[in-house]
């Protein structure tokens, strides 16, 4: 799995860490000016992932690769 970059259907994310951060915010970027007022606050993530959590998930996913 970790060897199949780029990720997502459009191939826009180049690392697993990028995918984890993207999915953690549900693909939404409230800082994007185009999103101002367009994003329902109920859809915004209630938890942000820490760098340590991202590293841990990436390590787990990389461990799934056969040697």
- Is it true that the peptide bond before 24 is cis, omega within 30 degrees of 0? no
pTM passes above 0.85: no
Count of other CB atoms within 10 angstroms of residue 53: 14
- Domain annotation covers residue 30: yes
Residue with tokens 């259907």: 9
Residue with tokens 């109920």: 42
Q: What share of the chain has pLDDT > 90, as a percent?
A: 19
**Mean pLDDT estimate for the chain:** 79
* Lookup: tokens for 20: 């984890």
Residue 25 makes CB contacts below 8 A (sequence gap 6+) with 44, 45, 48
- Domain annotation covers residue 57: yes
In the chain, the number of structural domains is 1
* pLDDT tens-place string over residues 34-59: 666 666 767 666 667 899 999 999 99
More confident residue, 62 or 48: 62
Residue with tokens 């007022």: 37
Domain that holds residue 41: 16-63
- Domain annotation covers residue 22: yes
- Domain annotation covers residue 3: no
Which helix (H) or strand (E) element contains residue 49?
Answer: none
């Amino acid at each position: 799995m970790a060897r199949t970059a780029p990720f997502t259907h459009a191939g826009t994310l180049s690392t697993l860490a990028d995918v984890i951060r993207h999915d953690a915010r549900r693909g939404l970027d409230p800082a994007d000016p185009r999103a101002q007022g367009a994003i329902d606050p109920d859809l915004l993530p209630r938890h942000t992932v820490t760098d340590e959590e991202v590293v841990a998930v990436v390590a787990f996913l990389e461990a799934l690769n056969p040697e």
